[in-house]
Amino acid sequence: MKNILIAVTILLFISCGEDDPVASNTDNFNRTAMLTNWADNSIIPAYTDYESKLASLKTATTTFTTTQNQANLTALRTEYIAAYKTWQYVVLFSSIGKAAELDVTRWVNVYPTNAATIETNITNASTDLSLSSTNTQQGFPALDYLLYGVGVDDTAIVAKYSTANYSTYLIAVVDRLIALNTPVLNDWNGAYRNTFIASSGNTVGSSVNVMVNDYIFNYEKYFRVYKLGGPLAIFGGSVRPEELEVYYGKQSRELCLTALDAIENFFSGKHYLSTTEGDSFKSYLTYLDAKNDGQALAPVMLVQMQSARTKLNLLNSDFSAQLNTDITPANTAYTEIQRLVPMLKIDMMQAFNINLDYLDNDGD
């Protein structure tokens, strides 16, 4: 998780000359308009859709736990993956406002989930998921296990829920997701929207500064490391497929590509689930005439995102199958993902005149 460093400045050395990411433009960019676009067209709509998806997940959970059969399990899985895909958008905003206060990422998507402890909790009828020790026993990774991993096949999985404790635990996990999101959405629909937009400077703690840092952290950690680099053993050790997102349900490529869509859309200022664009990192970099090797930085970054997408699409839809058979295509995809990191951490940060507020030790 992100470690905020107080009074620490990361000095990013770059060469001068034509490759300087910032030209001579004075920074009078309308950051208020960018924050407004983010709040009204990306953040609040995403949280609203996520709340709706969670409500549908709750309904499907109630139906399945009331009548345990294959059709209801299939319907429940459909609502689960729909909500999980929406989370890939919401996570971009999870370190600001009420979401940061509640530390939602700690509870919603920590994987691998602890299947053994989940089984112990079910046996003991333990459903208090507010305890700090339970963060690996809840959220979407726990649902992944509960909907795909508790039996050898679907017949066995459905049979598990004839035991009341399994149904009770499943309901508790879904209710916890709703309980974490509702106050966040309410906060955005209340006073926090205006507070967020009003903080339009780029000083430490301002909305722009926080969003830039969190966007890069999300790409570097939640996307690059957790979805592929860690399980691929890029940072040491042996290949660990069991650490992949959706290990049991095997939809890792689908979620990974959804996350990349969210990352690219936010960069471009696209309205949530729309092609309409507003002020954004892309337009800000264009205004600043930011460069990478003499080329306009924003288009280069978008091309690199597309290159990563192309390589990810070549992988098995189940990343664990890919890692267990041939890791070469996965390494290639990781390399394309990694190529964007210095553009984010050096070129874009320097252009915006913002310093990183976190440290990592991944050697990049």
Give the other-Cβ count within 10 Å of 363's Cβ. Answer: 7
pLDDT at 12: 34
Domain membership flag for residue 5: no
Residue 25 confidence (pLDDT) above 60: no
Query: Which pLDDT tens digit goes with each residue over 94-131?
Result: 999 999 999 999 999 999 999 999 999 999 999 999 99
- Domain range for 169 is 31-352
pLDDT at 19: 39
Residue 20 confidence (pLDDT) above 90: no
Query: Which pLDDT tens digit goes with each residue over 47-85?
Result: 999 999 999 999 999 999 999 999 999 999 999 999 999
The structure tokens 């979620």 sit at 255
Domain membership flag for residue 362: no
Domain membership flag for residue 200: yes
SS3 letters for the chain? Answer: CCCCCCCCCCCCCCCCCCCCCCCCCCCCCCHHHHHHHHHHHHHHHHHHHHHHHHHHHHHHHHHHHHCCCHHHHHHHHHHHHHHHHHHHHHHHHCCCHHHHHHCHHHHHCCCCCCHHHHHHHHHCCCCCCCCHHHHHHCHHHHHHHHHHCCCCCHHHHHHHCCCHHHHHHHHHHHHHHHHHHHHHHHHHHCCHHHHHHHCCCCCCCCHHHHHHHHHHHHHHHHHHHHHHHCCCCCCCCCCCHHHCCCCCCCCHHHHHHHHHHHHHHHHHCECCCCCCECCCHHHHHHHHCCEECCEEHHHHHHHHHHHHHHHHHCCCCCHHHHHHHCCHHHHHHHHHHHCHHHHHHHHHHHHHCCCCCCCCCCCC
Domain count, the chain: 1
The mean of the pLDDT values for the chain is 92
pTM here? Answer: 0.92
Domain membership flag for residue 285: yes
Domain membership flag for residue 54: yes
Query: Which pLDDT tens digit goes with each residue over 142-191?
Result: 999 999 999 999 999 999 999 999 999 999 999 999 999 999 999 999 99
Give strand pairing partners of 30.
none
360 band by pLDDT with thresholds 50, 70 and 90: low
pLDDT at 66: 98
Give strand pairing partners of 296.
291
Domain membership flag for residue 26: no
pLDDT at 24: 39
Residue 26 confidence (pLDDT) above 90: no
pLDDT at 202: 85
Residue 317: give its domain's CATH number.
1.20.1420.20
Residue 316 confidence (pLDDT) above 80: yes
Residue 310 identity: T
Query: Which pLDDT tens digit goes with each residue over 122-148?
Result: 999 999 999 999 999 999 999 999 999
pLDDT at 190: 97
Domain membership flag for residue 254: yes
Tokens of 78: 């459909």
Residue 294 confidence (pLDDT) above 90: yes
pLDDT at 22: 40
7 band by pLDDT with thresholds 50, 70 and 90: very low
Domain membership flag for residue 364: no
pLDDT at 357: 87
Q: What is the mean pLDDT of residues 42-49?
A: 98
